[in-house]
Structure 1
Amino acid sequence: MPSDFDLFEVLEPETQRIPFVFNSPHSGRKYPVSFVEESRLDGAAIRRSEDHFVDELFAAATDLGAPLLLAHFPRAFLDVNREPYELDPRMFEGSLPPYANVNSIRVAGGLGTIPRIVAENMEIYRRRLPVEEALLRIEAIYKPYHTCLRKLVARTHSLFGFGVLIDCHSMPGNIRVAGTGIRPDFIIGDRYGTSASAELSNAALQILENMGFAAVRNKPYAGGFITEHYGRPARGLHALQVEINRSLYIDEATLQKRPEFAAVAAAIGSFMQQMADFVEGSSADVAYAAE
């Protein structure tokens, strides 16, 4: 397992003042040398699956009084927004454990816990990996990451009586909502109403629309494993996935920040503040909801 990069970190406020946890699992951009060497992709292509700079866009979370968990390892290396063992047996030398989920749609698409591809169906690896390598990544990175996230969510729930997890992501600029032609600036995912209360999801959409953004719910991204796994509205635990259109803030060809980056970050800071204000003003209504 590479030792030349920290796995992840939690940016903490001096005191947690709001019942929110922010999580950026796909913005990691520290690529282990051994991983790059075993990839068939160049340094630019291998970054195509990153949620570019999303950790920076949500950095104001700590100023508002909420923790921000962020990955340093890249999504192409390990995807913590999957089940722990969504693995494609065609990728590995050796037998996977019997509990591995080898038949999920995400595995079939090449986007399992150990991804086979990055965006545009570009194959990552030159050759098959030892199965022991996959299992080591899961033990050494995936499980500690989720242990950390669970502790943050549990602490928040204990402090406030309920909690809201915001899972922070980005999406390609060419995404359209099927059948409408709408190119959304933001997509709010709540697993079709199962991971968060309707009041919370609707508030997120309304805030973004009032700020002048095109915002939609669940299509084409309803939320991944993290949203589904941590969202338990009946227990006072809500999880929303927020997808930001990358073309708002980076040049998708060069992956460099656009001049609008600071303005987008400021807008997201305002969104976070307004979400916190909404929850504070109506916590009795949104804290607990039927799943």
Structure 2
Amino acid sequence: MTVERDFTDIQPFEVRQPSDQRIPFVFNSPHSGRFYPRAFLEQSQLDPQTIRRSEDCFVDQLFASAVPLGAPLLLAHFPRAYLDVNREPYELDAKMFQEALPSYANGSSARVAGGLGTVPRLVGEGQEIYAKKLPLGEALDRIGTIYKPYHARLSGLLSATRQRFGYGVLVDCHSMPTGIRLPESGMRPDFIIGDRFGTSCAPELANSAIHLLREMGYLVAHNKPYAGGYITEHYGSPLKGLHALQIEVNRGLYLNEQSYEKKSGFDQLQRDIAQFLADLVSLPDFYFHDQPLAAE
């Protein structure tokens, strides 16, 4: 199997852009891909429904209002179970492959140990994706053909935004399973705002996001249990004029997680997110200049 064969009918990812970028924001939906290549499904021991357990289903649609607001939206068509771009480029699990990992691979990260590396081993609550070991070259092909171009596109969007506006803000858009609860209180949050514990963006950005969502009546957590993944950590550099914020939406608000069909609350949630984004992108510029990092 090759990436070229997998994606003959659809591009692995795309950028939806306004006619003119009017705001210093870039939105990213790296896990909402819903195109599962036939050859990939044939390699898997999971049925076509179960393999979707790690998918951020319809998140690209929930945040689609970013484009008419004047910001680009980068979104994946490839599924997270196939390739996870919210990881280091070579977080690979040696148990998955027929050959030994190259010396530059990171095979010992916590994410690899959990089965959720760059080429994941598991979906959902521990379901093994593959029936047998893969050729290492297949993983390297996915990384070289999709992962690296995806990040090159994201980096280019952020660089162009910072050059044009003097700073750039990345909003990384995700969803979380319905049953997620906070360990201390047992609360089931509607949204989780992640800023890598105050290191990936100006504090006013995260604080404003939390305030705006709470004013809408949503239960909002901050950094727990999701503080932001590789993308938030890698691109968030406030002292260099790049701010990164991760937003997790509870799937229970809009999705039947058994049938992967939209619930009746989808349209209202989409409207609420549109209003939330309109308010968020209207924050004053001085929030993003010469901001000290929050204490960890």
Query: What is the TM-score with the length of structure 1 in the denominator?
Result: 0.98
Residue 93 of structure 2 aligns with an amino acid whose one-letter code is: D
Question: Which of 33, 44, 52 is residue 28 of structure 1 equivalent to?
Answer: 33
Report the Cα distance in structure 2 between the residues aligned to 1:16 and 1:177, rounded to whole angstroms.
37
Write out per-residue CA displacement over residues 64-104 of structure 1, whole angstroms, 9 at most, x where no aligned residue.
00000000000000000000000000100112110100000
| Structure-1 residue corresponding to 2:51 | 46
- SS of corresponding position for 1:99: coil
Report the Cα distance in structure 2 between the residues aligned to 1:220 and 1:122, rounded to whole angstroms.
21
1:175-254 counterparts in 2 under 5 A?
A: 175-254=180-259
Report the Cα distance in structure 1 between the residues aligned to 2:242 and 2:271, rounded to whole angstroms.
27
1:174 equivalent to 2:179? Answer yes
Structure 1 unmatched ranges of 5 or more = none
Question: Which of 112, 115, 126 is residue 110 of structure 1 equivalent to?
Answer: 115
| Structure-2 residue corresponding to 1:12 | 17
- SS of corresponding position for 1:277: coil
Write out per-residue CA displacement over residues 29-71 of structure 1, whole angstroms, 9 at most, x where no aligned residue.
1001110000000010000100010000011111100000000
Alignment RMSD: 0.8
Report the Cα distance in structure 1 between the residues aligned to 2:92 and 2:7, rounded to whole angstroms.
24
Contact 2:205–2:287 (Cα < 8 Å) also in 1: no
1:150 equivalent to 2:152? Answer no
Give how far 1:120 is off: 1.0
Give how far 1:287 is off: 3.0
1:84 equivalent to 2:89? Answer yes
Write out per-residue CA displacement over residues 239-284 of structure 1, whole angstroms, 9 at most, x where no aligned residue.
0000000000011121100011111011111111000112xxx211
| Structure-2 residue corresponding to 1:138 | 143
Question: Which of 126, 130, 138 is residue 125 of structure 1 equivalent to?
Answer: 130
Contact 1:235–1:288 (Cα < 8 Å) also in 2: no
Contact 1:196–1:231 (Cα < 8 Å) also in 2: yes
Report the Cα distance in structure 2 between the residues aligned to 1:211 and 1:157, rounded to whole angstroms.
30
Give how far 1:286 is off: 2.5
1:3 equivalent to 2:7? Answer yes
- SS of corresponding position for 1:244: strand
Report the Cα distance in structure 1 between the residues aligned to 2:289 and 2:22, rounded to whole angstroms.
16
Give how far 1:181 is off: 1.1
Residue 115 of structure 1 aligns with an amino acid whose one-letter code is: P
Moved over 6 A (4+): none
| Structure-2 residue corresponding to 1:256 | 261
1:283 equivalent to 2:285? Answer yes
Report the Cα distance in structure 2 between the residues aligned to 1:256 and 1:283, rounded to whole angstroms.
39
Contact 1:236–1:289 (Cα < 8 Å) also in 2: no
